[in-house]
A and B are shown apart, each in its own frame.
Chain A
Amino acid sequence: MARWVQVVRLRLRSLVRGSDVDRDLDRELRSHIAQEIDEHLASGMTLEEARRTAMVEFGSVGGIQEACRDTRRVAVVENVVRDLRYAGRTLVRQPGLAVAGSLSIALGVGANLTIFSLANGLLLASPSGYRTDRLVHIRTGNGSHVSYPAWRALSESGALGGIAGYSIEASVNWRGGDASVTIMPLLVTANFFDVVGVPMQRGRGFTAREATAERDARLVVVSDRFWRRQLNGDPDVVGRSLTLNGSPYTVLGVLAAGIRSVPGYGLSPDVYLPISRTLAPDLEKPRAAAVQLIGRLHDGQSVQAGRAAVRVVVQRIAERGDDPEFRTITMFTRVGGLSQAKDFKEAGAFFLVLAVVTALVLAIACANVAGLLLARGTARRREIAMRIALGASRSRLLQQLLTDGFVLALIGAATGVALTALLAELLLRVSLPLPLPLEIRLAFDSRLAGLALGLVLLSTLMTSLMPALQSTRPTLVPTLKQGEPAYGPRRLSLRGLLVIGQVAVTALLLVAAAVFLRNLTRAQSLDPGFDTQRAVVARLTFVEGRQGTIDAPAIQAVVDRVRSLAGVDGAAFSEGVPLTVFSGSRVGTSMRLDGAERPVHVEYDANRVGPGYFGAMGIPLLRGRDFDGADRSSAPPVVILNKEFADRYFEGRDPIGLHLAWGERPGSRSAEIVGIVANGKYRTLGEGRDAAIYTPYLQEPVVGRMVHVVARTAAAPDTVSSAISHAIRQADSSAAVQIQPMSSALAFAFLPSRIGALIFGALGMLAGLLAMVGLSGVVSFSVGRRTVEFGIRMALGASRGSIVRLVLRQSAVLVGAGLGIGMMMAVLLVRPLSAFVVADLRPNDPLHLAAAAALILAVGVGASWGPVRRAVRVDPATALRTD
């Protein structure tokens, strides 16, 4: 025990008070010599002789001191401190290198951190709650949701400490002032706040006892954002009443600011409501998908034990005969971190592509800094050779040179973190054209800190390892004897190789950028199959239970009112509007078609539309007739197909007048085909040619809570918007109305291509800029070294043109090689991008390669411009005199 105390005390002493220790040692050695002299004197030498003999026998005092210092094992630390100081001094003396180097790294690191923290915040971070390491996501059976009775059985089983359910797929109307607004609620089971323990800033969450679905409790907890933006941060909000779907709900509390919601993906629901039959009418149906599950493990219960306990309950529920597939647990994982869910994987893939791209940008940035350090290494050759000659070990020199890079990387990374934080602040302020309340909050946590540290080390190695090895090559010692070889053979330098790599990676990124930019223009000019310029879309959300306004004839009355407005050419209602968030549903089922021998599997987009829809949308009716007022529930069922459905499944027969029936067995629901309309895009711009079936809204037994009114305008859409909105509100004042021109309603559909074009365009430009700096550095360095050579050539009669050619040839070799490699990589690597772009756009289209190549050539010319000018200005007389 005591021994360790002594050891630690001594190490600390040598570290903190190293000079004391040195003085002590000095004193000890002096004392030794003195005794040696005493001995020699005693044997009869003169004082002078004794002293000289003692000194000769003793040998090098410095060597002993150095050896003793090494035994203290603090030499490493001491050296590091010294190196850091030295690196700081050198960087201050070369501010150009310091600024350019750290800024390059800052951009690279910043890009990486931003992408990672986005992914971290949206995908990996745990939701906010009490001891979230005990929370698990549970999925069972086929889907992500379970029925309400299944949740009740699971929750009451006590298999886990608690199991709560939540549902994001709902909307409620909030009446604030004189208008209704649709807001996004999180419908939660009564025990949600008990199980998750979401932090609150005011009031409290509801408890399982007071908010059970059966009691239909009118309680609400609001988000910080909703409280600030819509309730003006009212300090007395707790106890206040909010009118939701026409009924008063008492505010119990406000959630803490900046929390992550349980559903994840940055979703930030406006209000949290206890789930009830009023809000979810199908609640008690045994197989309705009502809620997703989140559970809290018992204290001390492992994930495996929890899973086993839940499996028992799940099997019991399945055996009761509800759903045989219910028995398999498909997900039972701690919240946060990686997940096996399909939606998670898709989002993850996108971020993975981005991560690769940003890593490439960092590599380019590091190549630049490495180039700068290599250039400096050449300039410092004599200094380094001198130090080697004086006995510095190679590893000691490497340590010094790596420290230089480390300091650069550290400053760069710190700046990068600051840039990321700045961007995060900006992201919170801009509002994206999203239909859902999203809060993109970059997560600054230990994972991000770890990544930042890793990036610092990585960029240290990438920037300085190669230059350090190069400039401490043992063969450098001859440099001491002679100056730089001025007319050595021109072989490809290490910097040249770096630039080739940079150009290659830049070419790859520019091809990707070209793909996304072209995708954007292509998407915007893509014909969606309907008129986007002269139409207005109004989304109406009705209050549940007000059947007076929600049934189809009443909606028809609203449409008639709109149709009679001046400036409106036509109007109709429909359940969904293509390419918006509510675009109708996608169906895959078996169908029996007239004239076909056996049932076929069909996949189509379904939409329910009112009379006049095709006219109002500008979708051409190719054959047959449109729906009309006579197609009601009493009349024989009819459908209209798009051309793709007719071509694909009727195989050349004329479908008009034929029937189709849903399901495999006879006797199920069937309908007569009365018309065929043109194809279009339904869910995404990138989809191929999809089949579609339209059914008449007036024949549907159930009418949804949400309906769209589409109006075709004669004038600019904006001018009639308010008139249309007014007309709708007159019909039902409790309905929430969102009205916008069709072109802006489609903004959501363009969002992925816009974001892709923005990110890849920005990163491509950044890479191009960095590569230009790198190339320019190499060429101008070599022009500087060849000044004398140019002088001789000119003195011997070389024309300026030939000098220009000489310089350009060097750039051309570098750019050409880089471009060639880059294009080969691009051909191979951009193919996976087709998952993110419109269907008929091929990522490795020669056009993209050509565009990228043109940009790279421009970069090459731009980078060579300055050096070329300097080269032709060489005055032969001056140049020759310098040698």
Chain B
Amino acid sequence: MSKPSDLIQGTLDLLILKTLALGPQHGWAIGKRIQLVSGGVLQITQGSLYPALHRLEQQGWITSKWLTTESGREVKSYSLTKAGTKQLARELENWDRLSAAIGLVVREV
């Protein structure tokens, strides 16, 4: 189990953007999906999820609108903007570089 503060700075943004790249989602579902896909390793608490969503929206990477789900719940659904798609590409590139670099250091014999 990993707390978001243990995540590398900015990784949460990447996770959210990547998740939204697959299609619009609301906050609860985003958190669940990340947990699911990571096999339960990454648990995003609400205390970091919502401020992060807020920040991404304030920066214009994502937009939101209110929808009603099939079960009749009102949810706020987020989707990626065009700028957000570009930002995701940039962050992915950064991530690849970073993980490769860390890999080099860590696996050095």
Contact = CB atoms under 8 A, between A and B. Distances in A.
Interface of A: 2-4, 6-7, 10-11, 24-25, 27-29, 31-32, 34-36, 38, 58-60, 63-64, 67-68, 70-73
For the complex, would chain A's binding face be called helix, strand, loop or mixed by DSSP majority? helix
A24 B109 CA distance: 53
Contacts of B54: 25, 68, 71-72
B24 interface: no
A31 B60 CA distance: 23
Contact of A7 (B27, B45, B60): B60
Given A6-B60, A6-B81, A70 B73 contact: no
Given A3-B60, A7-B58, A29 B73 contact: no
Contacts of B83: 2-3
A693 B63 CA distance: 93
Contact of A31 (B28, B47, B51, B82): B28
Given A3-B60, A6-B81, A7-B60, A35 B75 contact: yes
Contacts, number: 74
A35 B28 contact: yes
A10 B46 contact: no
30 contacts: A3-B60, A3-B81, A3-B82, A4-B60, A6-B81, A7-B58, A7-B60, A10-B57, A10-B58, A11-B58, A25-B50, A25-B54, A27-B76, A28-B50, A29-B46, A29-B50, A31-B73, A31-B76, A32-B28, A34-B73, A58-B46, A59-B45, A59-B46, A60-B47, A63-B47, A64-B50, A67-B47, A68-B50, A71-B55, A73-B58
A28 B63 contact: no
Contacts of B47: 59-60, 63-64, 67
Contacts of A27: 74, 76
B71 interface: yes
Interface of B: 26-29, 45-47, 50-51, 54-55, 57-61, 63, 71, 73-76, 81-83
B75 to A, nearest CB: 5
A35 B61 CA distance: 25
A498 B76 CA distance: 58
Given A32-B28, A38-B71, A68 B81 contact: no
Nearest to B61: A3
A190 B29 CA distance: 85
A70 B51 contact: yes
A36 B28 contact: yes
Contacts of B55: 71
Contacts of B45: 59
Given A3-B59, A28-B50, A71-B55, 16 more contacts: A2-B60, A2-B83, A10-B58, A25-B50, A27-B74, A27-B76, A31-B28, A31-B74, A32-B27, A32-B50, A35-B73, A64-B47, A64-B50, A64-B51, A68-B50, A71-B51
A60 B45 CA distance: 11
A4 B63 CA distance: 13
Nearest to B74: A31
A236 B57 CA distance: 70
Contacts of A3: 59-61, 81-83
A2 B81 contact: yes
Question: Ordered nearest first, which 9 A-B pairs have the shortest CB separation?
Answer: A3-B60, A3-B83, A67-B51, A71-B55, A35-B28, A68-B54, A6-B60, A28-B76, A71-B54
Contacts of A68: 50-51, 54
Contacts of B29: 35
A35 B32 CA distance: 11
Contacts of B28: 31-32, 35-36
A64 B31 CA distance: 15
A12 B72 CA distance: 32
A36 B27 CA distance: 11
Nearest to A66: B51
A63 B61 CA distance: 24
Contacts of B51: 64, 67-68, 70-71
Nearest to B46: A58
Contacts of A72: 54, 58
B81 to A, nearest CB: 7
A35 B70 CA distance: 12
A263 B59 CA distance: 57
B40 to A, nearest CB: 15
A67 to B, nearest CB: 4
A63 B58 CA distance: 19
A31 B75 contact: yes
A29 to B, nearest CB: 7
Contacts of A35: 28-29, 73, 75
Nearest to A67: B51
A28 B27 contact: yes
A35 B29 CA distance: 9
A27 B63 CA distance: 17
A820 to B, nearest CB: 58
Contacts of B59: 3, 7
A22 to B, nearest CB: 12
A399 to B, nearest CB: 22
Nearest to B87: A3
A24 B27 CA distance: 13
A77 to B, nearest CB: 14
Most chain A CB inside 10 Å of its own CB: which residue of B27, B51, B57, B61 = B51
Contacts of A31: 26-28, 73-76
Nearest to A10: B58
Contacts of A6: 60, 63, 81
B77 to A, nearest CB: 10
Contacts of B81: 2-3, 6
A785 to B, nearest CB: 47
Contacts of B82: 2-3
Contacts of A67: 47, 50-51
A27 to B, nearest CB: 7
Contacts of A36: 28
A31 B57 CA distance: 18
Nearest to A68: B54
A25 B57 CA distance: 13
A3 B75 CA distance: 24
B46 A32 contact: yes
Contacts of B76: 24, 27-28, 31
Nearest to A9: B60
A24 B57 CA distance: 14
Contacts of B74: 27, 31
Most chain A CB inside 10 Å of its own CB: which residue of B55, B58, B76 = B58
B9 to A, nearest CB: 15
Nearest to B27: A32
Contacts of A70: 51
Contacts of B75: 31, 35
